[in-house]
C-alpha cells in the first residue's frame, strides 16, 4: 500500500518551550487552519518545564495561545517522519548530526542563507537571572524576530523541494 505523506516541518531547540515552540506557533498562525503542512516542534533535551509567563503573554498578544503546548523530546522517530527539520541553534544542528546522522539547516540559514543561530536567553545574556529587564526584552525580541521572519521562511518553502513523497507503509 502506498500512502501520500503531507509535507511536514519540525522546529528544534533545546527545551521546546521557547524558540522552537514560538516558530511552530508563528508558522501555524501564518498558514491558517487549511494549511498543506504539518507543523510541530521538539527539543533536544525537553526537560519538563513550564513556559515562562513572558512568552505566554507575548504570544497571546499575537493571537496564539500556547497553554495547550506539550513539550516533545526529539527522537529518531520524529526525524524520520518529518520532511523539513529546522534547527534554531548551532548546538541543535550539531546534536542532530552527532546523534541521528542527519544534517539540519538553521532557521536563519533557510531564511537568509546565513549560518547564524537564534541564541537562547542564557547564550545572549549570561547573567540573565540578575538582569531581568534585559532578559524580558531579549525574549520579546526573539519572539518578534521569529514572528516577523516567518513570512520569509514560508516564501522559501516554495523554492525548496518539500513536495509530498510516496512512501510505502
**Tell me, what CATH number does 67's domain have?**
3.40.50.2300
* % of the chain with per-residue pLDDT over 90: 85
Q: Is residue 27 part of a domain?
A: yes
Q: Is 12 part of any domain?
A: yes
pLDDT at 46: 87
What is the pLDDT, as a whole number, of residue 2?
45
Residue 131: inside a domain, yes or no?
A: yes
Give pLDDT, residue 168: 32
| Domain total of the chain | 1
CA distance 125 to 46: 21
Cβ-based neighbours of 146, under 8 Å, separated by 6 or more: 19, 22, 23, 26, 107, 118
What pLDDT shows up at residue 169?
32
2 within domain boundaries: no
pLDDT, tens digit, for every residue of 39-92? 999 999 989 999 999 999 999 999 999 999 999 999 999 999 999 999 999 999
Average pLDDT in the 87-98 region?
A: 97
Q: What is the pLDDT of residue 157?
A: 82
**165 found inside a domain:** no
For strands 84-87 and 105-106, give the pairing. Answer: parallel
Range of the domain at 118: 8-158
Does 163 fall in a domain? no
Other beta carbons within 10 angstroms of residue 118's beta carbon come to 23
Tell me if 48 is assigned to some domain.
yes
- How far out from the chain centre does Cα 140 lie? 16
Amino acid at each position: 500500500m502506498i500512502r501520500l505523506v503531507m509535507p511536514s516541518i519540525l522546529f528544534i531547540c533545546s527545551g521546546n518551550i521557547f524558540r522552537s515552540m514560538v516558530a511552530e506557533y508563528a508558522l501555524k498562525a501564518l498558514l491558517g487552519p487549511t494549511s498543506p503542512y504539518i507543523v510541530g516542534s521538539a527539543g533536544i533535551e525537553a526537560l519538563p518545564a513550564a513556559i515562562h509567563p513572558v512568552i505566554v503573554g507575548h504570544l497571546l498578544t499575537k493571537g496564539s495561545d500556547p497553554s495547550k503546548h506539550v513539550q516533545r523530546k526529539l527522537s529518531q522517530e520524529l526525524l524520520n517522519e518529518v520532511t523539513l527539520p529546522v534547527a534554531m541553534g548551532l548546538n541543535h544542528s550539531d546534536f542532530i548530526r552527532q546523534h541521528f546522522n542527519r544534517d539540519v539547516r538553521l532557521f536563519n540559514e533557510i531564511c537568509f542563507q546565513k549560518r547564524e543561530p537564534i541564541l537562547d536567553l542564557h547564550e545572549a545574556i549570561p547573567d540573565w537571572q540578575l538582569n531581568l529587564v534585559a532578559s524580558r526584552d531579549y525574549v520579546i525580541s526573539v519572539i518578534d524576530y521569529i514572528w516577523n521572519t516567518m513570512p520569509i521562511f514560508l516564501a522559501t518553502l516554495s523554492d525548496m523541494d518539500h513536495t509530498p513523497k510516496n512512501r510505502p507503509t
